[in-house]
Amino acid sequence: MQNILNTKQFSGKIIRTELIIPYTKEDHAYFIFLSELLNLSSKKYPITRELIKIREELYDATIKLKVLLRGQDIILQINLLYLNILNLEEEKKCIELLKEIITNPNINNHEWNYEDFNYAKNIIDHEYQMYEDDPKGCAYQEALAFFTPNTGLGGFGTGIYEELKKITAKKIAVYYEDFMKKAQMQYFGMGNFSDALQKHLKSIFKIEFDKRELCENKLITNPKIAKKTKKLNNQQTIVHLSFKIQNMSKYEAEYVLPIFDDLFGGSVGTGKLFNKIREEKGYAYYAYSKNISFTNLIMVVVGTKNKFVDDVVLLANQALKEIQNGEINDEFIPQLLNVYLQKLDTVYDQPKLLFNQFIKEYNGMVDSIAQKKEFYQTITKDKIIKLAKKINMDAIYILEGED
């Protein structure tokens, strides 16, 4: 099967199902609830303890759910992991358990089981409280939401929690029934899959298997710098800066941008931000940049003091300007390229990275490992400068603390 990566390299197997729809804030809230609910019980196993027991009988087979944002899509991902020591019949039970959890939840008369619903709600409320109790992480998420409106990026800070509070046991049951009719489903496997197991897997998940093209979030650059400040006592001041890239090609996004990001906001030595703001001026406790996946946003984060905020913004722009003008240490580029080429070689030894590469490659979202190596070797200083000239700062989010 094309959607199975058959390998004897690892000690277990993983089967991943993904339910995919275009992103909306309302769907995001329901997905978060479903990721907690579906793993608690089902029609066949109406008590959580029964689900735990059947997994224990299958040598602690694990089923994990998570919500992902991938460009303009939102994804409910369900991963089944189990050891190779299981025989064929036990493996079939694992796959049937996965299907049971996805397709046969504990819903009666169009209403979700109240005990499970309240348990999931308490988990979500607790997670929100933890979010609120982490000012640094909360500020990062709020800044990300400010820089990427209407994308779902930014965690609870985007108003998702307000949507979550509207959900009831009846509403989520009705939502699930409708959602399962419209969601695109994919499933993938990695491990040593026998022909019999592949045949069984195909019989369980009877779906038309279509590829899912990636629709990236192409964020608009603000014509004037947007600014937002949040004051919080007894906290360090943190400056978040939005740098948007216009008209970036797929080649630039995949290969040139990571090298630029290291030169701009990477670690000690190569990163201009750190060197200018921290090492030369002593204006910061830390300074780094990060490209936000599936967008054209580079986010800069600097821990500083209130009196240095304006200087930090000025120096960040100067760092970008220097790269745009070609002020790059020529020795850094081959060093960084070598690091990325070595990372590609390690993908084959890391199950998570290898599986993600396989799935993205299947859907046409990324190039093969061999192609990636070839493309990285085509990167030049001129290509980095060309990309840098497409970048402008367009927003500032400040967590204003106490000096």
- Whether residues 156 and 251 fall in one domain: no
Residue 166 falls within a domain, yes or no?
yes
* Same domain flag for 156 and 13: yes
| Amino acid 215: pLDDT | 84
Domain boundary among 171, 204, 237: 204
Q: What is the pLDDT of residue 132?
A: 86
Q: Which of 204, 239, 273 represents a domain boundary (last residue)?
A: 204
Q: How far is CA 182 from the centre of its chain?
A: 23
Taking only the tens place, the pLDDT of each residue in 314-341 is 999 999 999 999 999 999 999 999 999 9
Residue 212 falls inside a structural domain: no
252 and 105 within one domain? no
Domain membership of residue 403 (yes or no) is: yes
**Same-domain status, 328 and 399:** yes
Q: Is residue 209 part of a domain?
A: no
Confirm whether 39 is domain-assigned: yes
- Residue 226 and residue 192 share a domain: no
Which residue from 236, 235, 303, 305 is spatially nearest to 273, judged by alpha carbons? 303
Contact yes or no for 398/235 (Cβ under 8 A): no
| DSSP code per residue over 42-87 | -SSS-SHHHHHHHHHHTTS-EEEEEEEEETTEEEEEEEEEEETTS-
pLDDT tens over the chain, length 403 residues: 589 999 999 999 999 999 999 999 999 999 999 999 999 999 999 999 999 999 999 999 999 999 999 999 999 999 999 999 999 999 999 999 999 999 999 999 999 999 999 999 999 999 999 988 898 899 999 999 999 998 989 877 557 898 999 999 999 999 999 999 999 999 999 999 999 999 999 999 876 667 788 888 899 999 999 999 999 887 789 999 999 999 999 999 999 999 999 999 997 678 999 999 999 999 999 999 999 999 999 999 999 999 999 999 999 999 999 999 999 999 999 999 999 999 999 999 999 999 999 999 999 999 999 999 999 999 999 999 999 999 999 999 999 987 6
Give the per-residue pLDDT at 227. Answer: 97
- Give the model's pLDDT for residue 208: 66
Residues 192 and 284 both lie in one domain: no
- Work out the percent of the chain whose per-residue pLDDT is above 90: 87
Q: Looking at the structure, tell me whether residues 242 and 303 fall in a common domain.
A: yes
What's the chain's Rg over C-alpha atoms?
A: 24
Domain carrying residue 349:
218-403
**Is 127 inside a domain boundary?**
yes
CATH number (domain holding residue 119): 3.30.830.10
Residues 178 and 232 in one domain: no
* Residues facing 77 on adjacent strands: 18, 66
Same domain, 199 and 269: no
The span from the CA of 351 to the CA of 150, in Å, is: 33
Instruction: Compute the Cα dihedral for 53, 56, 57, 60 and give only its sign.
Output: positive
Among candidate residues 144, 171, 204, the one where a domain is terminated: 204
- Is 293 within the bounds of a domain? yes
pTM (predicted TM-score): 0.93
The CA distances from residue 300 to 43, 82, 96, 288, in Å, are 48, 40, 46, 6
| Statement to judge: residues 200 and 222 lie in one domain | no
Q: Are residue 137 and residue 282 in the same domain, yes or no?
A: no
Q: Are 5 and 190 a contacting pair, CB within 8 Å?
A: yes
Which pLDDT score is estimated for 1?
A: 56
CA separation for the pair 320, 282 (Å, rounded): 19
Q: Which positions ≥6 away from 6 have C-beta within 8 Å? A: 191, 192, 193
* Counted domains in the chain: 2
Detail the DSSP E strand segments found in 217-358. 226-231, 237-245, 284-291, 297-304
Query: What per-residue confidence (pLDDT) applies to 268?
Result: 64
Residue 348: CB atoms within 10 A of its CB come to 13
Asked, for residue 210, whether it belongs to a domain, the answer is no
Judgement on whether residues 324 and 286 belong to the same structural domain of the protein? yes
